Amino acid sequence: MPPVHSDAAETRQSDVIATVLARYRHDPVYLMQILREVQEELDWLSPSTLTAIAAGTRLPRARVEGVAGFYHFFHQRPLGRYRVLWSDNIIEQMAGSGDLMGRMCKKLWLKPGEVSPDQLVSVDTTSCTGMSDQGPAILVNALPVTHMTSERVDQVVALIRQKTPVSEWPADFFKVDDNIRRRDLLLGNQMAPGDALRAMTDPQSVLDAIKASGLRGRGGAGFSTGQKWDFCRNAVGSGENPQHYVVCNADEGEPGTFKDRVLLSSFADLVFEGMTVAAYVVGARKGFVYLRGEYRYLLGPLNAVLEKRRQSQLLGKSIQGRMGFDFDIEIHLGAGAYICGEETALLESLEGKRGVPRKRPPFPVTEGFLGQPTAVNNVETLAAAALIAAKGADWYKAVGTVKSAGTKLLSVSGDCQWPGIYEYPYGVTVAQVLADCGARNTQACQIAGASGLCVAPDEFGRRLAFEDIPTGGSFMVFDNSRDMFAVAHNFAHFFANESCGFCTPCRVGTSLLCNALDKIRDGHGGEYDINDIWRIIRTLRTASHCGLGQTAGNCVADSLQKFRPSFELRLNSRDFEPAFDLDQALSRMRDVTGRDDPGAHFHLDHRKSKQGIGTKLGDPA
């Protein structure tokens, strides 16, 4: 909607802001939710809206603006009534998202990132939206539309042109499948809501069981869950109102992972039950689910599950009649920031701030949400904890390996016949997963996402377990037709887009890395640039503040080592190439002067960039 300066619009603006502020009791901790809900009503966050929200929450205006400016999904300029975001994951790019987005833009007479002159629509890209098993996918006003094809692009364009409200679009556009391909302990469980809670005798025994089970964090880092809960339980809260908190990290942002989407779609009770078990152990009365903004569509269904649990006495006061066991859960939505998957950045965000990772120590178990002891656990970890509370440590530990008890959900996507969720006992080989998902002629697997490990065929015998390859669950498959340079290039851009910008090495390094890879992609790279790339990667690894920066160079380092020809074939010379395109640098003056004589060009023997190398040439016969 164009910014209208009528009294009616102003009244509506202040009404909306007042209502939302009242709903959150003007509490600055809820700034993220306030901004989101106001934006959902007003389409964008105008300067005067931010001023009003600052006044209403008694926060400095610059802090409110700083938060609004941090998250991808908050916008401080009107982006139209329809805001289309294409998931920019490499897997979806391989499935043709680039061409489809081009088609959409062309039909809407738009360039990516621009708003149509009538303020109707904008089209842009965003980081992986967790739909790579059914992509290419888009978000339209925060709702996912999956399985994009050229027909579907045309349909969406028509609906936008006709100004059909998104709520009236065909329901099958928004269908998100679970695609569960292999079930084990977790996905095959037959538990009813409350089973785990009924099995609990006292907090210490539950903690002992969790410890004995060997359960480790499923986000990828693999810290012992029992130990984390023990630390949190023993930590003393501070201030006038000491509290303990449980936080479920559902900010599933690693490219190519979507297992938490499935757990929250179809196993929400189990996840909430796990949170309740955690609360029982650490002594928390309040829990939060930090749900990534890309999963906004799950908010309604999840709140419905929570309400049902309250009615069944599985949440609220005196849970299941146990005196003093009070616990409730709130869902807090993120707004598009991969970094918030890092637990301390998540806590900052939960407190209504910019999602910047904290210094550690102190760790969240002693000083977490609002400085109080907080147990932050992954969605899958909490679901597994509920299973263990119900069925015992021995039952769980019987599956998996010595150091990696139980099972792991893998989000498999890319070049395979059956992308989706696979639950395996820990210790499964890469080759086994590839065989089961119907992958053929596999060139590489990217395991644990963009920050993870790129595995070449001679390593397919390696095992997915904390002993060998730890993973949060992302498993992306690339067959022989794929260009591993394009993969590294995509990931490098992902990190530059998602760096919070707090520390120098990550803020500048991720962006320099992109520039270097862009230069190579454009056919202007040389050995000099490869050396620079290594230098940037070393700096990122050594000096970055958090895991994002420390691992941001991994994908490029792996592909430089394991798939070096995909870089070399693009290098223009073995030595030095200018940092920019010389001939292109005269373009403005050619426009202005109308000159096209030989002096208006550089005739350098630039080899053309190697188009065609490794690009998909149709399916192998």
Give the interface with other proteins as residue ranges (CB under 8 A). Answer: 47-48, 50-51, 60-63, 65-66, 68-70, 337, 354, 359, 496-505, 507-512, 515, 528, 532, 535-536, 538-539, 542-545, 575-576, 578-580, 582, 584-595, 597, 599-600, 602
Return the C-alpha torsion angle 554, 559, 561, 567, nearest 10: -130
Residue 497 CB, shortest distance to other proteins, in Å, is 7
Cα-flanking dihedrals φ and ψ of residue 421, to 5°? Answer: -100, 130
200 vs 335, which CB is nearer to other proteins?
Answer: 335
- When the beta carbons of 404 and 539 are compared against other proteins, the nearer one is 539
SS3 of residue 596 by DSSP: coil
SS3 content of the chain, % helix, strand, coil (to 5): 45, 15, 40
Number of alpha carbons in the 13 Å side-chain half-sphere of residue 192: 2
Residue 589 CB, shortest distance to other proteins, in Å, is 4
The helix/strand/coil state of 253 is: coil
Distance CA 21, CA 14 (A): 10
Q: How far is the CB of 352 from other proteins (least distance, A)?
A: 13
Closer of 69 and 371 to other proteins (Cβ): 69
* Contacts of 484 by beta carbon, 8 Å cutoff, 6+ apart: 443, 444, 454, 478, 559, 562, 563, 566, 614
d(CA 504, CA 540): 9
Nearer to other proteins, 4 or 579 (CB): 579
* Most distant pair of Cα atoms in the chain: their distance: 88
Nearer to other proteins, 70 or 396 (CB): 70
Minimal distance in Å, beta carbon 590 to other proteins? 7
CB of 215 to other proteins, least distance (A): 27
Closest alpha carbon to 146 in 187, 91, 108, 106: 91
Query: Nearer Cβ to other proteins, position 169 or 602?
Result: 602
Q: In terms of C-beta density within 10 A (0-12 exposed, 13-18 middle, 19 or more buried), how is residue 201 classed?
A: exposed
* 362 CB-near residues (< 8 Å, 6+ apart): none
| CB contact at 8 A, 424 and 184 | yes
CB of 48 to other proteins, least distance (A): 7
Comparison of 50 and 434: residue with beta carbon closer to other proteins: 50
Q: How far is the CB of 550 from other proteins (least distance, A)?
A: 9
Considering beta carbons, is residue 579 or 613 the nearer one to other proteins? 579
CB of 360 to other proteins, least distance (A): 9
DSSP 381-411: HHHHHHHHHHH-HHHHHTSB-SSSBSEEEEE
